[in-house]
Structure 1
Amino acid sequence: MSRLPRMPRSTDRRRSYDQYCAAARALDAVGDRWTLLIVRELLAGPRRYTDLHADLPGVSTDMLASRLKDMERDGLATRRRLPPPSPAYVYELTDRGRDLLPVLRALATWGAPALDVPRPTDAVRAHWFALPLLGALETAGEPGTVEVRLDEGVFHVRTGMERGYGDGPAEAPDVRLRMDAATCAAIGRGELAVADAVKAGRIEATGAGPLASALGVPTGV
C-alpha cells in the first residue's frame, strides 16, 4: 500500500478566514482574543512587558508573549530597548497599529451601554475609561488636554489633532477633572454631559481657556 506524502508542518501559526474581504483581512490580524486589548494598552504609550501583563488581568504570560509576537509580525507593534542605564525593553505601536484608535473608539462607544454596575469579577483600571470619554470630550469642539482623576487612578485625554490618551498625569493640562467611576461611565454612555456634571457638583473641575469654558469649568477656578 502506498503511503501519502507527509506534508511539511507550517511554522506560521496564523489562522485566516481565507476571504477576499477587507473586514476579514482585518480580523485575520486583530481578531484573536486579547489582541485589541493589547492595542488599547499600547495606545496609551510604550509599555514594558511586565506593565502590559499587570494591566491585562487574566492573560497568561504565554498568551501575551504570543500575541505580541504576532503583532510584531503583522507590523502593528515594535519592540525596542530603552536607553542606558535602563536594561528594559518596551513595546509600542507602529503607525499602522495607532491607526486602530478609531476602531477601538467605535467598539467602546458600542460597548459603553453595557457598563452599568461593575460585576464582582471585573477588574478596573482608570485609563480604561479614556476611550469612551474621548468621544464625549470631543463634543466640546475645542482641542486640548484633559487630566482625569478617579479613585482608581489618573489618566489624560488629548482632543484635536493630537487626539489620544495616556496613563498617568498630564504635563500642563488645560483642564483637570476629578470624579468617580460611575460618573465617568455615565459620561461615556452619553447619559451625562461633562458641563452638566460640573454644574451638578459631580465633577470637580479646574482650568482656563476655550476648552475649560466649553466643558463648563467655572470662571476663575
Structure 2
Amino acid sequence: MPPRRSYDQYCPAARALDAVGDRWTLLIVRELLAGPRRYTDLHADLPGVSTDMLATRLKDMEREELAVRRRLPPPGTVYVYELTPRGRRLAPVLDALAAWGGDALGERRSTDAVRAHWFALPLARALREAGAGEGVVEVRLDEGEFHVLPGAQEGPLYGDGPAPAEPDARLVLDAGTCAAVSRGESTLRDAVRAGRVTVTGDGTAAKALREA
C-alpha cells in the first residue's frame, strides 16, 4: 500500500490531520461510534461515498490503527469494522466539531440526505447539559428510531433502533427540533417545556427532563 500524503510538519495538529484529515474519514468514525458495522451498512449510511473511496478510507483507518476489520463468530460469519481504542478517542473531537458546525446547519436543503442517528451526537450533548446524561435514552423521529448513551466512556455511544432493554427515557420529537437544539437556538429543556419534545419513562434521565 503506497504511503499516505503528509503535511510533514512537526506539530500534533498536523499529525492528527495526516491521520483523519481526508474526506469521509471522520464521517466513518461517526458511523462506527455506534459499534461494529458491516461494509454494506456503512455504505448505506454514507450517501455520496463511492465503494472505492469507502474501501480506501477503511484501509487507511486500519493502517492508522483507528479501526479494525474482524469476522463475527458463527452464526454471523460476516466481517465488520469497529473502532480501536485510539479511534474511539476521536469521539470528543467529533462532538466538538458537531457543536462548532451547528451554526452552519441552517434549514435542510432539498439535496440533503438525513439519517435519524446523525442527531445522536448533538442530542447526547444536549442530554448531558440538561442533567440527563446517565443511562440509555431512546429517541423517535419521523426519520427513524435510535438510542443514545450520553454518558458512555467505553463502547458504543449510540445505536440504531429501539434500546435493547428498557430505556431510562423515551423522547419523541421531530428533526426540526433536533436541528434547533444542534444550532443552539433551543436547549433540550426549553424544547420539553415548549411541548416540542414528549418525554416518557421512569428513569433518572426522564425525571431530569420533566423537572426542567
Q: Distance in 1 between matches of 2:128 and 2:20?
A: 26
Q: Report the Cα offset of residue 195 of structure 1.
A: 2.5
- Choose from 34, 41, 48 the match for 1:51: 41
1:31-46 to structure 2, matched below 5 A, reads 31-46=21-36
- Choose from 193, 197, 211 the match for 1:199: 193
CA displacement 1:20-66 (0-9 Å, x = unmatched): 00000000000000000000000011100000000000111010001
Identity %: 72
Read off the aligned partner of 2:104 and give its amino acid letter.
A
2:147 is the alignment partner of 1:153: no
2:80 is the alignment partner of 1:86: no
> Any idea what SS the aligned residue of 2:210 has?
coil
Q: Report the Cα offset of residue 161 of structure 1.
A: 4.5
- Choose from 92, 97, 102 the match for 1:102: 92
Residue 156 of structure 1 contacts residue 166 of structure 1 at CA under 8 Å; is this kept in 2? yes
Bigger mean CA deviation after superposition, 137-146 or 32-41: 137-146
Q: Which residue of 2 aligns with 1:60?
A: 50
Q: Report the Cα offset of residue 159 of structure 1.
A: 2.3
* Structure with the larger RCO, 1 or 2 (CA within 8 Å, 6+ apart): 2
Read off the aligned partner of 1:169 and give its amino acid letter.
P
Q: Distance in 1 between matches of 2:208 and 2:2?
A: 51
Q: Give the number of aligned pairs.
A: 208
2:165 is the alignment partner of 1:175: no
Pair 203,141 (structure 1): closer, same or farther in 2 beyond 3 Å: closer
Q: Report the Cα offset of residue 217 of structure 1.
A: 6.3
Q: Distance in 2 between matches of 1:136 and 1:161?
A: 14
Bigger mean CA deviation after superposition, 175-184 or 80-89: 80-89
- Choose from 109, 112, 116 the match for 1:126: 116
Q: Distance in 1 between matches of 2:162 and 2:211?
A: 19
Q: Distance in 1 between matches of 2:4 and 2:178?
A: 38
CA displacement 1:98-154 (0-9 Å, x = unmatched): 000000001100111122211111100001011111111101234221111101111
Read off the aligned partner of 2:145 and give its amino acid letter.
V
Residue 113 of structure 1 contacts residue 189 of structure 1 at CA under 8 Å; is this kept in 2? yes
Q: Distance in 2 between matches of 1:58 and 1:103?
A: 23
Pairwise CA RMSD: 1.6
Pair 87,160 (structure 1): closer, same or farther in 2 beyond 3 Å: closer
Residue 198 of structure 1 contacts residue 217 of structure 1 at CA under 8 Å; is this kept in 2? no
Residue 72 of structure 2 contacts residue 79 of structure 2 at CA under 8 Å; is this kept in 1? yes
Q: Which residue of 2 aligns with 1:8?
A: none
Gap regions ≥5 residues in structure 1 = 1-10
Q: Distance in 1 between matches of 2:160 and 2:99?
A: 20
1:67-78 to structure 2, matched below 5 A, reads 67-78=57-68
Q: Report the Cα offset of residue 86 of structure 1.
A: 2.4
Residue 167 of structure 2 contacts residue 203 of structure 2 at CA under 8 Å; is this kept in 1? no
Normalising by structure 2, we get a TM-score of 0.93
Q: Distance in 1 between matches of 2:205 and 2:153?
A: 14
Bigger mean CA deviation after superposition, 160-169 or 107-116: 160-169
1:11-50 to structure 2, matched below 5 A, reads 11-50=1-40
Bigger mean CA deviation after superposition, 65-74 or 135-144: 135-144
The structure with the larger Rg is 1
